[in-house]
Every structure is written in C-alpha cells, then in structure tokens.
Structure 1
C-alpha cells in the first residue's frame, strides 16, 4: 500500500486519517447527544472530559490531515466525472474540513467561557482556556457548537450518499479508492463489458 496519494487513489495515511476522524466524529456526536441527560455522578464528569478530549484529538487529526493533503496532493477525479460533480465534491470536502475545525474550537470556546475548572486532555495535560468566563459568550459558543454539529451531520450524510451513489449507480471507483485495496473492488461498469 502506498502511504502517499497517487493520481488515482488515496494513500494509506489519507485513508487512516479519513476513517479515524469519521469514527471519532460519530462517537463524539453520539456521546454529545446523550451526555446532557446523564445524572451528575463521577461518570458524568468522565464522559464530559472524554467528549472534550476526543474533540481536541479530532482537531489535531484534521490539522494533520490538511497538512498531509497539502504535502501528498489528492487523486484526480475519476475519469468520466462531470465537472459539476467534481466541483461539488471539492466544495463539500472544503466545507467538511471547515466544520471539523470549527466544531472542536466552538466546544473549546464554550468550555473556556463557561468558567468551568480547567480540564485535562485524557487526564494527561491541562488544556488552556481560550477566553475568560463570559456567560453570553458561553451561550453563543454552545449554540454554535450544536448548529455546527447538525450541519456537519448533514454534509457527512451527503458525502456518504454521494460515495454510495458513485459505487452503486455510476459504478465507478470513487468509493473503492478511499478503502484499502481488495476491501471492495470498483464495480464493473456493464457498458464496458
């Protein structure tokens, strides 16, 4: 497996970062949807700290992913992809990157402005505050964090739906090239048979 991206497929590093970030976002999102309902026990504070720690981990991973993409490039669109679809894919990817950056930053700002005691990333390192306690800022950051989450979910669903559309309807290699070789084969286009 190539670690670096090639003209026709994503390399191992890009695949690892893509799927790791995707799984973490799904996990963090699921936890975020239920953690407000938890009773105020020590487990509650552990869940909140894990949510925040994983969010900052995603922030670091997406920065690494952007850096890797700048270094390793990106595959060209699959041959035969209409120009508007290639543009839409680029715009969607850009928006997803922005949201994945904005989500943890808005959560971090909310935590900072809430005046809560400092938290430690996975209990290892104290995370600095981005702002002094400010109730209005905390409320705005919290609302922004929630809205960004729903917008991110909508874009991720569109992104996944487009990948499945390419695989099952357009029958091209779009999905297969973001997975390790031999996990799935690009569908055989019946027109070329």
Structure 2
C-alpha cells in the first residue's frame, strides 16, 4: 500500500485525511446546531449548553489543523487523472467544489476560533493552546464579524459537501466507474495525461465566496445583533464636567471572570473638597443599560431574566459625597430594574487644581435586583458583581 499518491490512485495518507475530515464534518455540523439551539434558562441547561459548545469548539480546532494538513499534503502530491477527461464541464464543476470544500474547511473552524478568542464567556476550548489567537484583540466587533463569517460559511460548507457527495454517488450508481473505489480502497483507475492545474475553478470558488460575503453584508449580518432601544440621556448640569471615564462590572461565570462596561452614562457632580469628615457634595449618575457589553453573554445579560433592558433601560445612582476618616465615599442608593438598594462606593481622589481624578469600586449582590434569579448556583454565576468606576473631571 503506497502512502503517496500516484497519477492514477490516491495514497493511504490522502485517503486517511479525507475520511477523518468527513467524520469530523459529520460530527461538527449537527453538534454545532444542537449547541446553538439548546436552551440556557436554568442552571442545568446552561451547563449542558456550555459543555456542548466546548466539545464543538474543541473538535473544530482539531478539524482546522486536520484541514491544513490535508491541504499541505495535497499540494505536495500528484493528483490522480480524471476518469473521464472528455467531460470538461463535469471536471470543471468537480474541481470548483473541491476548492470550495478546502476553503470552507479552513474558514469555518478558523472564524469560530477567532470569535472565541475575541470575546469572553463560557464554553472554553479543551485543547491547552486553544483559548487565544495571535493578533486577535478582545473585541466585541471582531467577535460579531467572526460569528457572521462562521454562520455564513457553514452554509457554503454544507452546499459544497452536498455537491461533493452527489458527485460521488453519481460516479458510483450511474457511471459505475472507479472514482469511489480510488478513495475507499486506493484502487488505480484512469489514464495519466499531461496537463496542468486549472485555475478557473479557483476563480469561480473565489467568486462564490465574494457573493456569500457580499450578500451577508447587504443583509446586515456583519452588524451587531438587535438590542433594546438605547435611551437618550439628558446632559448633566454639573459643577464638574467628566472629560473621560469608564463604568465597568466584573463577575465570575462558570469559574471564569468576565468583564464588561457601559458605553453611555452621565454624572452630575457637586463637590467641594474638605479635610475633615463630613458631607462634601452630591452625585447623580444616569446609566443607559442597553449599552452594556459583557463578552459573549452581552445579549443574554440584557434579557428579561437579567437586566431586563427592554423594560428598565436606565439605572440611577444618587448619593452624597462624604469625607470619612479613611477617605471619600459616595453613600446613596442604586435604582436598578425597579428596585432601590443602599450602596456605598469608596473611592480614591486626586486633585490637581481644577482637575479631579477618582477611582473606586464596590460590590453588589445581583440577587438584590432579581438579576439572574434562575441561576441559584454561585458556581455557575457569582452572586457578587464588582462595579469599577474611574473618571477624570474638570471644574466648570
């Protein structure tokens, strides 16, 4: 048994790579859809969904490596001659489908891996090297684009696979030639002929990809998924104007820390520094809840079981700024999701003339606001949510 190809037969390496790839595809496609459609409203459902996605991603990385090995091997091997060289249109179509298969076998798993590397969330890849990719930033926009490419290219994979199978069946059932036997048993068939690799099928395959990506862009598939309407926050009438700042949260989901932030918020600040304990001012912070990004679970976090951004699009923190023996604190209440709870935010303050820089953090209990009530196990979703605030403001 020859390991390498000949001009009339496929070698053992080519055939092994072919059938291992076929097995991977047959596992990956249904597993991906089962994971995608699996519910996650309860702890048990979330655990199952995460496990399904972990297995899907892990096999996907293996399939990506296998596809690269198959392509590199094919480039070093002679391609067995077609059994019917006179059927030019048929051979052209077969070659085009092969280019589509090769490209989708790389792009489908790679785009899924890029999406995973660009975001945070559950369902880790089980390979020890699998979580990150070089040059892929942690970015929601990158993750969304990669997810769209992954979704679109899987359909091109399915289409090219169906055409490939249909062609194989035609050769076996109608033509009754040795095409399938060459890949199953390494049988020799056909007559070698001088020739060269045609690139017109490659051009057609590239055109198919361009049509797919262009159609997806026209349909808006490379933009963010629909989110609850973002409320328009009124400009803060403040003695201090915030020039830059971040309002972030962090929590632990299934043992992994996830960090997020709100893109739109305002702060109305009245403040006079003091050296002795006592009230130093007031602050009111308005937060646009739909602007939260939280890794791969952003959409879930805005849903009815969590922040319920559709019905409660804003949150308000109203507090007195108090100088204590230890430093400054904002002591007040946080109104979120229809509930008001007392909150104290200690912070460090640095003053430089009319410029103030502060950094503070506090911990909330999500159960106080009926956030994620269905997730009663802190091992799956931590009860504690840390709020981190950093800003720079100038006196008007």
What's the TM-score bracket when you normalise by the shorter of the two chains? 0.7 to 0.9
1:129 matches 2:152: no
Alignment RMSD, CA only? 2.3
* From 163, 168, 185, the counterpart of 1:163: 168
CA contact (8 A) 2:54 2:123 kept: no
Distance 1:137 1:126 in 2: 18
Distance 1:52 1:9 in 2: 34
CA contact (8 A) 2:3 2:13 kept: yes
As a proportion of its length, which structure holds more helix? 1
DSSP-derived class of the 1:73 partner? coil
CA contact (8 A) 1:118 1:129 kept: no
Distance 2:18 2:131 in 1: 25
1:13 matches 2:13: yes
* From 76, 82, 88, the counterpart of 1:83: 88
As a proportion of its length, which structure holds more strand? 2
The gaps in structure 1 that reach 5 residues or longer are 187-193
> What corresponds to 1:31 in structure 2?
31
**TM-score w.r.t. length of structure 2:** 0.43
The gaps in structure 2 that reach 5 residues or longer are 190-396
Q: Which has the larger radius of gyration?
A: 2
Go from structure 1 to structure 2 and tell me whether the alpha carbon gap of 1:110 and 1:60 turns closer, same or farther (over 3 Å shift): same
Distance 2:97 2:130 in 1: 34
Go from structure 1 to structure 2 and tell me whether the alpha carbon gap of 1:81 and 1:160 turns closer, same or farther (over 3 Å shift): farther
1:2 matches 2:26: no
The farther-off stretch of 5-14 and 156-165 is 5-14
Q: Deviations over 1:105-162 (max 9, x none)?
A: 110111122233793444x334323522322222221122111111111110011101
* From 59, 64, 68, the counterpart of 1:63: 68
CA contact (8 A) 1:115 1:134 kept: no
> What corresponds to 1:94 in structure 2?
99
Go from structure 1 to structure 2 and tell me whether the alpha carbon gap of 1:78 and 1:13 turns closer, same or farther (over 3 Å shift): same
Go from structure 1 to structure 2 and tell me whether the alpha carbon gap of 1:129 and 1:66 turns closer, same or farther (over 3 Å shift): closer
* From 47, 72, 75, the counterpart of 2:77: 72
Q: Which has the higher contact order (CA 8 A, sep 6+)?
A: 1
Distance 2:186 2:8 in 1: 12
CA contact (8 A) 1:118 1:127 kept: no
